[in-house]
Structure 1
């Protein structure tokens, strides 16, 4: 459910900015049919209210040497708050982990991990994940093809 404080102009601004965060207020004003000053105030409010959490560049993973995308499921050794926190602390220190989700069901976590090659993946699983005290079981899958990858919300 979209926040009731957002009107059609706010949603349009959000939609445009998630497609291209480099749009200027002049660009936005032309596309939304508001003045640049109105767009600026709205953008600032959307940032201040936390609807826009930040801006970043989308980098080319392949060109930067991380062509392998891996999906790794993890089951914890014990299911308690301390063990889950130890695992969360580990993940926070691992830059190759792009996403980490706690799940219901038979596995506890699913990770999206990028690596330069298979050896790096093996080193990550065997040298980092499996030896960790919180981890009981790890299952890996290598992504053969990415059909869709987006952070865009369906506004």
Structure 2
């Protein structure tokens, strides 16, 4: 998938061109890049995403790693790794803090927005197909459950 490879290429670019105070950041970026499913759910757009992993370049003077999930905030690399690995199919917004503006990162954020919307559209399309199948099979319980799931998904995206 082009998007997956595009994300990996960008993470390689970050790993080779920027220094981080905490080497755990490098370890986590390599983990994300190599994981078979996490990379699919990484976004560089913060549209309605509850999990945010912020990674700051060494010269910014900011904490290298910060994970925000709802009201929980942590800078512990082991906790962050555990969160990513345990919830590998949950969207995560990956935010970089660089000491100077970075054109390539800005492009990824713009592309990430389109990619995230495309991913959401694909998920909704699958739900609609499953609803149609439930209707054809006269499976009321499945129909109602899937319809409710689709309504909730639409509400989250607004």
Scaled by the length of structure 1, the TM-score of the pair is 0.25
Scaled by the length of structure 2, the TM-score of the pair is 0.25
Structure 1 or 2: larger strand share? 1
More RCO (CA 8 Å, sep 6+): 1
